[in-house]
Amino acid sequence: MDMLHVRVLAPPASTATIEALLCDDEAVIHLVVLPGAARSPAGDLVEFDVVREGATAVLDRLRSLGLERDGAIVMEHVDAALSQSARRAANRVPGLGVDAVVWHELEEKTGEETRLSWSYLVFMIVATVIASIGVLLDQPILIVGAMVVGPEFGPLAALCVGLVRRRPRLVGRSATALLVGFAVGMAVTVVTTWLLTAAGLVDESMLLAKRPLTDFIWRPDALSWVVGFLAGIAGMLSLTSAKAGTLVGVLISVTTVPAAANAAVAIAYGVANEAVGSTVQLGINLAAIVLAGVLTLLTQIALGRRAERRRPDRART
């Protein structure tokens, strides 16, 4: 079963309200209250587990008490639990934990991906340069490697969350991370291509030669949209259900970084048609992923509201 362990540091005046709120919710189990146990910030410690399908509603009610300002709410995944009460809670609460979206967790997780850090830029540069070499050598293995290294799906997911949850700041940070990341990656790749050419390791003929294994990168078609759309759905579901293995598969299926790399190499050699085609491919994939991610989240919101209406009245009051 899928559960979260929640630790609340609460002002003593709020503890009775919190305890009553949690005791009345069938999604909450393993409730522990330790008066005066918290030191920083000072107050009471309340700990409990909650099944994922009921977590968002519980966390919403806790946040409405102002605990973020006066105390703290900390969440972590429960890897395994041997508990009959946990099984009963999972059976009582409508829906499946694997399908549930814990919005507070998702916003925090994707929000971290929008930071324009040095590590993010380095990953983007490395991925784009690897992809550029794969393009010139017509080597799909290098293209796949670049897809896995590329960090762009994090800001893309955050952009989807920001649009759905109406978080303008999150949307702005995500868009900035994407624009700056791709711009820096492509600029460095252009310079790297010139340096490798000067060293005699690559040349323009490699780009102009027939590349049957990788020329799809700069020849966008309807299937490019389909693949990007399906990857957006799978990627968002992998994040909301915390399935990292699926996310790796999504990264391998998206040609954003390779398209940017092909455009950079084409710019370096002045090959206009490939530069334009690669840029169009990049735009198609980005748009398809964002649209699919937004629609996936909206669908999950609708399903979550339907499940919430099926919960007992005393769990919602």
Per-residue pLDDT of 183-229, as tens digits, reads: 999 999 999 999 999 999 999 999 999 988 888 888 888 888 898 89
**Alpha-carbon gap, residue 76 to 264, rounded angstroms:** 41
**Alpha-carbon gap, residue 214 to 192, rounded angstroms:** 20
Sign of CA dihedral 79, 80, 86, 90: positive
pLDDT band (50, 70, 90) for residue 69: confident
pLDDT at residue number 316? 43
Residue range 15-48, pLDDT digits in tens: 999 999 999 888 899 999 999 998 888 899 999 9
pLDDT at residue number 317? 41
Secondary structure element (H or E) that encloses residue 145, with its range: helix 140-149
Q: By three-state DSSP, how is residue 152 classified?
A: coil
**Alpha-carbon gap, residue 65 to 15, rounded angstroms:** 10
Secondary structure element (H or E) that encloses residue 51, with its range: strand 42-51
Tell me: cis bond preceding 41? Omega within 30 of 0 counts.
yes
At residue 32's C-alpha, the angle toward residues 29 and 35, to 5°, is 155
- The 10 Å CB-count burial string (b at 16+, else e) for 87-103 is eebbeebebebebbbbb
Of residues 74 and 304, more confidence is placed in 74
Hey, how many other C-beta atoms are within 10 angstroms of the C-beta on 108?
11
Secondary structure element (H or E) that encloses residue 12, with its range: helix 12-23
Sign of CA dihedral 138, 233, 154, 287: positive
Residue range 224-250, pLDDT digits in tens: 889 889 888 888 888 887 555 445 555
CA distances for 60 relative to 67, 103, 281, angstroms: 11, 9, 40
CA distances for 163 relative to 104, 113, 159, 294, 300, angstroms: 15, 15, 6, 7, 14
Q: Thinking of the domain 3-100, which architecture would CATH place it in?
A: 2-Layer Sandwich (3.30)
Secondary structure element (H or E) that encloses residue 149, with its range: helix 140-149
Residue range 139-173, pLDDT digits in tens: 989 998 888 888 888 899 899 999 998 889 999 99
Q: Give the position of tokens 């991906």.
A: 113
Average pLDDT, the chain: 86
For residue 314, pLDDT over 50 is answered with no
Q: How do 42-51 and 28-39 pair as beta strands? A: antiparallel
Q: Give the position of tokens 């410690």.
A: 45
For residue 1, pLDDT over 70 is answered with no
Query: Which of 20-24, 104-108, 268-272 has maximum average pLDDT?
Result: 268-272
Helices and strands per DSSP (H, E), number in the chain: 14, 4
For residue 153, give the nearest of 226, 264, 222, 244 by alpha carbon.
244
Residues making up the chain, counted from first to last: 317
Q: At what angle do helices 244-253 and 222-240 cross, to 10 degrees?
A: 160
Residue range 127-141, pLDDT digits in tens: 999 999 999 999 989
